[in-house]
Chains A and B, each alone.
Chain A
Amino acid sequence: MTTPNRPLLLSILLGVLLICSGCASTPKGAKPGGETKVVGDFTLRDLKGSRVSFRDFGDKVVLLAFWATWCVPCHTELPQLQEIWERYRERGFELVSINVDPADNESEVRQLARRYKYRFPVLMDQETEVSNRFNPTMDLPYSVLVDRRGRISSVHQGYRIGDEETIENKIKNLLNP
C-alpha cells in the first residue's frame, strides 16, 4: 500500500513547493517592481479585417483582456473595463480585447460586440495562438497588464465584482509611476 501513496505525497509536496514559490517575493533574477516578462509582438485581425500588431500601441499602458461569447463573467467585466479605458485613454492607456471564439462563432462575436457597444479594439484569436502564449490554461476572463516598456506588470484571472477597482489602481500606478 505504500507504493501507491508515494506519488500522492510527491505531488502534494510539489504543489506546496510551487504555491510557496508563487507567493514568494520577486524571484532571484527578476527585475524589481514585478516587471518580469517582455510581451513580444503578435498580430491578429480585428473586426474590420485589419491586421493589428501589439507594437502598434507603442509605449502605451495596455490591458489585454481575453474573452469569449460563452464566457458569462466576461460580459460583466468588459463594460467595466470599457469605462476605465474611457477614463484613462487620453493619458496613454489602451484596452485591447482578444476574443478566443472559434471561427464558426464569428457572426456571434460581431453581433455581441455591437450589442454591448464595445468601442475598444476587438481582436480575433480564432486559433488561440496568442491566448496560448499568455494563458495556456484558457481560463476566462483573463487579463494581462503591460507597462509602457512592453513588460507584463500583472495578470488577473476571473472576474468578481470589485476586481475592476484593483485593475484600475494598477493602471493608475503604471500611468503615474
Chain B
Amino acid sequence: MARTIRSLLIVPLIAAAVPAAAFEFTFPWINREASFEITETLVLDYHDDNLDYGELGPNPYNDNYGDIRNRLNLKLSVEDFSFAARIDTTTFIDAPDDPGIQYLDRYAPEKLNASYHGENFQADLGDFYASFGRAIALRIRKTDELSEDTTLLGGKLRAQLGPVDLTALGGLSNPTNWDGVTEKTIDDPYDLITGLSVAVRPQESLVLRAHGVGLVIDPLEENQRAQGFIETAMLPEYAFVAGGAVEVLGLADLADLYAEFNWMEKELKFPDMPAEDGWAAYFGGNLYLGDLTLTAEFKSYSDYELFSETDSESGKYKPERLDYIRPPTLEPEDMEVTNNHDVTGARLKVDWRPWGGDTLLFASYAGFIAEDQSVANQPEKNRWIYNLQVGAEQFFLRRGRAKVDVGLREEVPDWSGGNHHHLIYLDADVKVPLGVRHSLSVQGFNWWAHKLDALGAFDYLRGEWTLAYSWSPLLTLGVILGYDTEYSQSRDLDIIKDIGGNPVRQVFMAGTVSVNLSSRVVLNLLAGQIRGGPKCVSGACRVFPPFAGVRLETVIRL
C-alpha cells in the first residue's frame, strides 16, 4: 500500500512538470530570462530466468520479476545561475525474496545542485563532480558503463585570477543509491572528502599544478560494514594525498608533455596497524610528426589505493567498493586489470596515416611488472604483463568506416607457480552506407582466453557482436549475439551448460529496436538475452548478471 502511495506521489510530480516543460520565461521579481529543462528516462524491465550461476549454484533470485525505473532530471537556469535535481524511482513487481540482499523499492531525490557559473568564478552547492590531476589524486565522476555515479555532496568553488586557477571543495561522498548492475540498494559511505588545487600558467605553453586531498572515512560512524568483506580490513581511518604536475602544451606544435607525482599517507582503520605510505608517478607525452603521432606513457604506483566501502546492514544494503582515484592503466579500456596500485610499466603507441588519406594504421605495446595479488603477504612475488595491439582503420564511400584491431595480452608470474592469463582479443567496427539514409553496421569483440588459477588450467571464449540496420533519422533494428564459455571452462560452445552440467547459459541472442519519435523522444526496445560477466572500464571492473527478458526504455528531452 505504502509503495502504491509513493508511486502516486511521484506521478503527479512528474505529470505536473510536463505541461510546464521546455519553455523560457522571464523570472519574476528579478526580471531575468530563465529556462526550464526536463530529461526523463523511463525503463520497464521484465526479467525472465537468466540461467545464471551464483556462489552456491544456479541462482533463482534474479528471475521472473519486473521493475519500473524512472529517472527525472529537472533544471532551472536563470542566466549564470542554475538549480538542478535528479529524482530516481524504482518499483519492483513480484521481486524474488532474496535471502541475501532484498530488492527494495526506492523513491528519492538522488542528486541536487545549485550553481553559479560566471566567467571567472564558479560555485557549486549540493552534488558535484571533481577531478584532480590525471585522476591520480582524486576522481569523483560517473561511469555509466559500470552503473557508477558518485558525487560529492557539499560545496565547490573555482576561481580564475589571471594565470592562476584555484579550486577548493569539500563534501560527503554520495553514490547513486540504486545499483543498476544488481538492482539492489547501496547506502552512502558518509566519507568526508576535502581538496584544494592550484594551477598556474606562467607561460602560454607551461602549466604548473599542485593539489592536496584529505579523506576521512565515515567520521560520523554511520556505517555497518560486513566483517567478512575483503576490503574492510584495508579501509583507512583517514588518508591524505599531496602532489603536483607539470604540463607542457603545444611545444613548437610538435609535442605535449605531462608529468605528475603524488604521495599518499593512510592510517588504517584496523587497530594497531601502522600508517601506510604510497606514491604514484605518471608521465605522458605526445609527439606529432605530420601523419605520424607517437604517444609514450610511464607509470609507477606503489601501495597507491584510495577507496571506501558502503554500508552492509544485513539483508538491506549491498556493500560496494567506491574508488576515489583511478590512475591511468595504459591499457585498452576494457581490459581486466587486476592490480593498478602496485605496478610499474610503460606504453608506446603509434598512429600513422600513410599518404595522409583515408587509411589509418596504429599499434601499441605496453609492459608492466605488478605485485602478484594471487598470493597474500608476499610482495616480492610479481607478475609480468604484456599487451600488444595492432589495428587499421579505413574510411570509404565518403561515410563508410571499417576499423579492426587485434591484440595479445599475457599475464605471467615471475616465479614458479601463481596464476597465468593469456588473451588474444579482436575488436571490429564496420559501417557500410546503403544510399543516403540507410546503412548496415557490424560491431563487436571476441576474446580467446587461457587461464591457469586455483581451479586448474582451462580455455574460454567470450564475445559480443551486433548487426544493425539503420534508417536515418528514424529507426535502427539490431541483433545482438553474445557468448561466454568461462563457466564451462571450455572453448566448445554449448548453448546452455556449465562444467558441472548445470543449466548456465553460454549463448545469448537479443533483438533491438530504436526509434526516434522526434528529435527529443527516443524509444529503445530490447528482447532476448544479453551476456553478463565482468565488465571493466579503466581498471575498475564489476561482474554483471546476464539479462533475459524484455526492456523498454524511453528518453524524453524537453
Which of A's residues lie within 8 Å of B, judged by CB? Answer: 3-8, 10-15, 17-19, 21-23, 27-31, 36-38, 40-43, 47-49, 51, 53, 55, 69-70, 72-73, 75-76, 79-80, 102-108, 110-111, 114-115, 117, 126-129, 132-133, 135-139, 151, 154-158, 160-166
B77-85, B180-188, B310-318 - the one binding chain A: B77-85
Interface centre among B4, B70, B519 (most CB of A within 10 A): B519
Instruction: List A contacts of B119 (CB < 8 A).
Output: 41, 43, 53, 55
In the complex, given contacts A18-B40, A103-B139, what are 7 additional A-B residue pairs having Cβ atoms less than 8 angstroms apart? Answer: A11-B7, A38-B24, A129-B129, A156-B473, A157-B555, A161-B400, A162-B473
Residue of B nearest to A38 (CB): B35
- A114 near B351 with CB under 8 A, answer yes
**Residue B489 at the A interface, CB < 8 A?**
no
Q: Which of A70, A79, A110, A157 contacts B516 (CB 8 A)?
A: A157
How far is the CB of B463 from the nearest CB of chain A, in Å? Answer: 16
How far is the CB of B108 from the nearest CB of chain A, in Å? Answer: 15
Given contacts A40-B117, A104-B134, A155-B557, contact A7 B144 (CB under 8 A): no
Q: Which of A31, A79, A163 contacts B24 (CB 8 A)?
A: A31
Interface centre among B131, B399, B439, B517 (most CB of A within 10 A): B399
Residue of B nearest to A40 (CB): B77
Given contacts A51-B160, A163-B473, contact A27 B129 (CB under 8 A): no
- B410-449: CB near A (< 8 Å → 1, else 0) gives 0000000000000000000101010011110001000000
Instruction: List B contacts of A117 (CB < 8 A).
Output: 353
- A107 near B258 with CB under 8 A, answer yes
In the assembled complex, the Cα of A126 lies from the Cα of B143 at a distance in Å of: 12
Instruction: List B contacts of A15 (CB < 8 A).
Output: 42, 44, 554
**Residue B141 at the A interface, CB < 8 A?**
yes
Q: Which of B35, B70, B130, B143 contacts A37 (CB 8 A)?
A: B35
Residue of A nearest to B140 (CB): A127
Instruction: List B contacts of A127 (CB < 8 A).
Output: 128-131, 141
- B75 near A27 with CB under 8 A, answer no
In the assembled complex, the Cα of A139 lies from the Cα of B8 at a distance in Å of: 29
Instruction: List B contacts of A151 (CB < 8 A).
Output: 24
Instruction: List A contacts of B84 (CB < 8 A).
Output: 132-133
- B91 near A11 with CB under 8 A, answer yes
How far is the CB of B538 from the nearest CB of chain A, in Å? Answer: 6
How far is the CB of A44 from the nearest CB of chain B, in Å? Answer: 11
In the assembled complex, the Cα of A114 lies from the Cα of B356 at a distance in Å of: 12
Mostly helix, strand, loop or mixed at chain B's interface? strand
- A18 near B18 with CB under 8 A, answer yes
In the assembled complex, the Cα of A18 lies from the Cα of B436 at a distance in Å of: 32
In the assembled complex, the Cα of A40 lies from the Cα of B537 at a distance in Å of: 32
Instruction: List A contacts of B520 (CB < 8 A).
Output: 22, 155
Instruction: List A contacts of B23 (CB < 8 A).
Output: 27-31, 36
- B93 near A7 with CB under 8 A, answer yes
Q: Which of A19, A49, A72, A165 contacts B517 (CB 8 A)?
A: A19
In the assembled complex, the Cα of A13 lies from the Cα of B15 at a distance in Å of: 10
**Residue B470 at the A interface, CB < 8 A?**
yes
- B14-25: CB near A (< 8 Å → 1, else 0) gives 110011111111
How far is the CB of A154 from the nearest CB of chain B, in Å? Answer: 5
In the assembled complex, the Cα of A80 lies from the Cα of B18 at a distance in Å of: 35
Residue of A nearest to B334 (CB): A70
Instruction: List B contacts of A6 (CB < 8 A).
Output: 4, 7
Number of residues of chain B lying within 8 A (CB) of chain A:
117
Given contacts A49-B207, A114-B293, contact A104 B326 (CB under 8 A): yes
Instruction: List A contacts of B327 (CB < 8 A).
Output: 104
Instruction: List A contacts of B8 (CB < 8 A).
Output: 10
Interface centre among A6, A42, A69 (most CB of B within 10 A): A6
Q: Which of A40, A47, A102, A166 contacts B141 (CB 8 A)?
A: A102
How far is the CB of B347 from the nearest CB of chain A, in Å? Answer: 9
- B433 near A110 with CB under 8 A, answer no
- B135 near A166 with CB under 8 A, answer no
- B433 near A102 with CB under 8 A, answer no
Q: Which of A22, A75, A79, A107 contacts B284 (CB 8 A)?
A: A107
Q: Which of B86, B118, B538 contacts A104 (CB 8 A)?
A: B538
Instruction: List A contacts of B144 (CB < 8 A).
Output: 138
Q: Which of B70, B142, B250 contacts A128 (CB 8 A)?
A: B142
A-B contact pairs, 30 of them (CB 8 A): A3-B4, A8-B44, A14-B70, A17-B15, A19-B523, A21-B21, A22-B556, A22-B558, A23-B521, A27-B19, A29-B24, A31-B23, A31-B24, A37-B35, A40-B80, A102-B538, A104-B135, A104-B538, A110-B286, A129-B129, A132-B84, A133-B84, A137-B41, A137-B71, A137-B555, A157-B516, A161-B437, A162-B433, A162-B437, A162-B438
**Residue B106 at the A interface, CB < 8 A?**
no
- B24 near A30 with CB under 8 A, answer yes
**Residue B37 at the A interface, CB < 8 A?**
yes
Given contacts A22-B521, A36-B35, A79-B395, contact A161 B42 (CB under 8 A): no
The 7 closest A-B pairs by CB, nearest first: A162-B472, A161-B439, A29-B23, A160-B470, A22-B521, A162-B437, A7-B91
Instruction: List A contacts of B360 (CB < 8 A).
Output: 115
- B439 near A114 with CB under 8 A, answer no
Which residues B271-286 have CB closer than 8 A to chain A?
284-286
How far is the CB of B150 from the nearest CB of chain A, in Å? Answer: 12
Q: Which of B1, B91, B517 contacts A23 (CB 8 A)?
A: B517
Given contacts A14-B11, A75-B401, A160-B476, contact A110 B517 (CB under 8 A): no
In the assembled complex, the Cα of A163 lies from the Cα of B436 at a distance in Å of: 9
- B556 near A27 with CB under 8 A, answer no
Interface centre among A7, A28, A75, A135 (most CB of B within 10 A): A7
Instruction: List B contacts of A14 (CB < 8 A).
Output: 11, 14-15, 42, 70
Given contacts A19-B517, A137-B555, A156-B519, contact A8 B68 (CB under 8 A): yes
- A11 near B42 with CB under 8 A, answer yes
Q: Which of A36, A104, A160 contacts B472 (CB 8 A)?
A: A160
- B82 near A105 with CB under 8 A, answer no
Which residues B91-131 have CB closer than 8 A to chain A?
91, 93-94, 117-119, 122, 128-131
Residue of B nearest to A151 (CB): B24
In the assembled complex, the Cα of A11 lies from the Cα of B353 at a distance in Å of: 51
- B135 near A139 with CB under 8 A, answer no
- B11 near A21 with CB under 8 A, answer no
